[in-house]
Structure 1
Amino acid sequence: RAMSEYYYSDKELFTDFMKELGLDPYNNTLDPTTPEGIGNLAAKAVIEARHGDGANQYGEEEGSQNKPYHNYIGYEPVNSADENVDPNRWQPKYFSDGKGGYFAPGCLTPYWDKVKPIGLKSADQFRPGPPPMIGSKQLEEEVAEVIALQANLSDHDKALVEFMRDGPQSVQQAGHWLKFAQDVSRRDKHTLDEDVKMYFLNQVVAMDAFIASWDSKMFYDYARPYALVHKYYENEIIKAWGGEGKGMMEIEGKQWRPYSPETFLCPPFPSYVSGHSTISGACAEALKLWTGSDEFGEKVTLVAGALTEPDNLGDTVVLEFPTFTKTADMAGISRVMGGYHIQADNVAGLQLGRDVAREVWKFYKEHTGEL
């Protein structure tokens, strides 16, 4: 019910899934003596509580032109895809449309910092200090690090980048941590009550972490490595990934690109802080707090390159996640390896996420009667 409300374009998918489970997607009862009624009442309460929360899910915010999820704050990047007038600021980049053409997507949900948090006092409660600017030694070193990491990607590195990438049509990073939470549930043989509490904490933390991350992203409007490498190494010859079917090769710096498919080269919004790092730091800390231990112990097996360069597959790789903290760190560094972020984005994002989780933990304990 709630998913269909907010992700209305996927309503048919949710309906079909309910049918696969042997459930009636059209049962709208509000009878609290039935399981369906309790579910519908819970969805109704959430939908009503979040109405007008700033997410603009109904196109009702001033400036939204009655378009759901429309950019109602009027944000426009200072740089265009064709001209970078301020290299410290975010620049849109051209993607392939998969049909022989190219387009430069605008900033995705630039207003998300305006969304009302659940457990935080405000979106900027833990806003980090500024990122390194053009001309600083730190930025020079971190851009060089991005180039070096990509030039030396091992099969294990590629597999990690791909597993954590979470681009379009994926579970996204919050969904990734829901799946990790499912692993915990199976491992620890949870009761229904335990699952309800754990998933509640996990996703309230993810929600607020996204809001906090977007506060930093939109406040600093910071450049991504895609543009920064071009700025620092424009006419220099560097070793880098040349694109699908080309592998590692020597290219001019202005041709450098992240380790990603042509159709989704780089997330279309400012860089600082890394959303992956923020969400991973937050959800990892939440699971650590909830279970009372940092132990995780999961692993996944995948073929390096399968999601990026299927004509140049690497070895089968086993990614091991011994602890929640290590898993978050791996998610964060994967974004630097992939060329989507510099290290400053990652480090500040992980810390921001952990700060969010500790604050939401207090909210959780208040609402479960544990304080």
Structure 2
Amino acid sequence: MRTLTAVLLAGLLIAAQPAQAGDFSGHSVARQWNEALLDAIRNDFARPVVHARNLYHASVAMWDAWAAFDSRADGVLHLESMSAGSIEEARNEAISHAVHKLLQHRFALSPGNDTVDPDDPEKTSNKLEALMVSLGYDPDFNDPHEDSPRGLGIRIADTLIDYGLDDGANESNAYSNRFYQPINDPLNLDEPGNAAMIDPNRWQPLQRSEGFVDQSGNQVGDAQNFLGAEWGQVLPFALDESNLDIHPAGSGNEYWVYHDPGPPPMLTNDPGADSTVEYKANFVGVIEFSSMLDPSDGEEMDISPASMGNSTLGTNDGTGYSTNPYTGAPYEPQPVLRGDYYRAIAEFWADGPASETPPGHWFTLLNSVNDDPLLERRIGGEGDLVDPLEWDVKAYLALGGAMHDAAVSSWGIKGYHDAVRPIAAIRYMASRGQSTDLADPSYDPEGLPLVPGLIELITADSVNNHHAHLADHIGEIAIRAWRGHGHDPETETAGVGWIRAQAWWPYQQPDFVTPPFAGYVSGHSTFSRAAAQVLTRLTGDEFFPGGLGEYCVAQDSFLSFELGPSQDMCLQWARYYDAADESGRSRIYGGIHPEFDDLPGRVIGQTVGNDAWNLARRYFRGDIHLLFRDSFEVRE
């Protein structure tokens, strides 16, 4: 079996250990600056929308510097032409000065810059300076008037900095929301139940006396604030106004929503209403997946491409592939315990501590694919081979634009629809009771439906059997699910058992719990499908190089939420789409999303990725002019 472990996924979505910056001196200057940006992201606050924008803007800086020395290509935000004796050297210098200045600006207030020793080599600004020096450039140069490649780089950075201060992201106010306010009071995680829920269809912030950390391990207070609720108003790359809906938000404010899928299922006091049935079924599905996070149940499944992947867009109907199209041989089956697989993908795609966030880890995947010796650098899979710098700047522009547009679209939907997360919905319904037996005093039309063996009423009879440890909670709802925290994650596994539904936890770290923004639609699903589409269009091939991408994890050394997996295993994908689908699906096993968040995100991501690629190709070919924006002045 061919593996791409070291080449493909050595840095992809590191979920078990912090990612570290490596030596990329043998790669293009664009790759070196992209790796520097990913490292800066890992040491910043975990803000997916902010870093999708940073990745996009840095990619534009690289592209506009490269295009300035090409007679055909169009710049995106900075339109300037320049000649040079050595085009390669001039491009390297212009790119370096542009990205260095932009990143020093964007990460000036990053936790990665908050060091006691100003000369600490691990400080983000010092790392960026060190890269400049290693490339032979002066990190202190800052003259936009100099007629040189480095002067061009400074002018490009200034254009992007000016643009970013007026693109709708509210950068100058730390990307804060201007008008959004949550409907619900915070859910206090120190107590069971959900007494603070006012509207079970709306997002509810979480509160925890011991505080939270973000996905980069930074302390972020004891109560959540919605990140990016108005991000739909940020200027996009390729999103089109024909797909934009503008909704009033009161007091003259507006929600801008691209690719609006309509509202998610809603909970009502009519248990027979279609919307209520779908709402409950989706959150019951989250509970059901939580009940599968225990390898001791002995249930096995084949996780190889022979049985998994190849789903139709927006579904989970895939049954795998008969053969590897590159080798002509069948994929080798890989039977593993399902409790190991579901926990592994929940953590693998969760990003974990020191995360480059979902848009960043798709850049890491792109870089890993680019390193594969089987990859041919032909743009769109056709035409002549291109050099590594041209390949990288074109790939980064397309992927950066797609990641930024995925953030603008999915977060516009999140802000407007403001939909609930599983921990709030499940605890709320459990606190109301059950909605199956009308004759029982515990009945409530907004309660959880009873499902034998999964969701049950705690009764005088059941406490003499499998609910014995819940004897103090007769009349409440019990669910069979992951037991949560209270164990040593280094040496123990929580397993699955009967717990109070009002005290359910998702399969996440106890000080992270759930991201600080609404669930619908899933950002992971949107980012991932958009990225998979760009990778497919960029390479001209749906399949990973050689027909197989995989990431192997060792027994008892990969998981961080608890001990595991209980066996060696490899996560495997035939196509980029398969990896993207697994990313979206993993969030359900992790207790972060119901399925109605996942599937629409995939569909939107497909469109976003296609549109970003098509627009990027127009810049490559030089058949469009600069896209002028009324809100900023283009430097020429």
Within-5 A mapping of 1:179-328:
179-187=364-372, 188=375, 190=377, 191-234=388-431, 235-244=476-485, 245=487, 246-296=494-544, 297-303=548-554, 306-311=558-563, 314-328=566-580
Matches of 1:102 and 1:204, distance apart in 2: 32
Identify if the C-alpha distance between structure 1 residues 370 and 336 changes in structure 2 by more than 3 Å, giving closer, same or farther.
farther
| Cα deviation, residue 260, structure 1 | 0.5
Distance of 1:40 and 1:139 partners within structure 2: 52
Match of 1:17 among 117, 121, 127: 127
Deviation of 1:38 after TM superposition, in Å, equals 4.9
Q: Which has the higher contact order (CA 8 A, sep 6+)?
A: 2
Equivalent-residue separation in structure 2 for 1:195 and 1:18 (angstroms): 19
User: Structure 2 vs 1, CA of residues 8 and 329 (structure 1 numbering), >3 Å: closer, same or farther?
Assistant: same
**Amino acid paired to 1:170:** S
Q: Once superposed, what is the RMSD of the aligned Cα atoms?
A: 2.5
Task: Classify 1:253/1:53 alpha carbon distance in 2 versus 1 (closer, same or farther; 3 Å).
Answer: same
Indicate if the aligned counterparts of 2:183 and 2:198 stay in contact, CA closer than 8 A: no
* Alignment correspondent of 2:161: 47
Q: Please give the per-residue CA displacement for 1:265-295, whole angstroms capped at 9, x wherever unaligned.
A: 0011111000111111111111111211111
1:93 aligns with 2:233: no
Q: Is the 8 A contact 2:182 2:205 kept in 1?
A: no
Contact 2:197–2:428 (CA<8 Å) still a contact in 1?
Answer: no
Name the CA shift for 1:162/1:40 in 2 (closer, same or farther; >3 Å). farther
One-letter amino acid of the counterpart of residue 333, structure 1? R
Larger Rg, first or second structure (1 or 2): 2
The 2-side partners of 1:179 and 1:102 are apart by 29
Q: Residue in 2 aligned with 1:62?
A: none
What's the CA shift for 1:189? Answer: 5.7
Q: TM-score, normalised by structure 2?
A: 0.53
Match of 1:125 in 2: 258
**Does the 8 A contact of 2:211 with 2:223 survive in 1?**
no
Query: Which structure 1 residue ranges, 5 or more long, are not aligned?
Result: 60-67
Identity percentage over the alignment?
29
Q: Does 1:330 align with 2:449?
A: no
User: How far apart in 1 are the matches of 2:280 and 2:182?
Assistant: 27
Give the Cα–Cα distance (whole angstroms) in 2 for the partners of residues 175 and 232 of structure 1: 36
Q: Structure 2 unaligned runs (5+)?
A: 1-100, 114-122, 189-195, 214-219, 245-255, 294-338, 378-387, 432-475, 488-493, 624-636
Distance 1:308-1:150 versus aligned 2 partners, 3 A rule: farther
Aligned equivalents of 2:102 and 2:352: distance in 1? 23
Say if 1:277 and 1:332, in contact at 8 Å, map to a contact too. yes
State the alpha-carbon separation in 2 of the partners of residues 113 and 196 from structure 1.
26
Whole-Å separation in 1 of the counterparts to 2:125 and 2:614: 36
Superposition deviation, residue 18 in structure 1: 3.0
Looking at structure 1, the residues matched to 617 and 512 of structure 2 have their Cα atoms a distance apart, in angstroms, of: 40
Match of 1:161 in 2: 346
Tell me which moved more, 185-194 or 86-95.
Answer: 185-194
Q: Number of paired residues?
A: 361
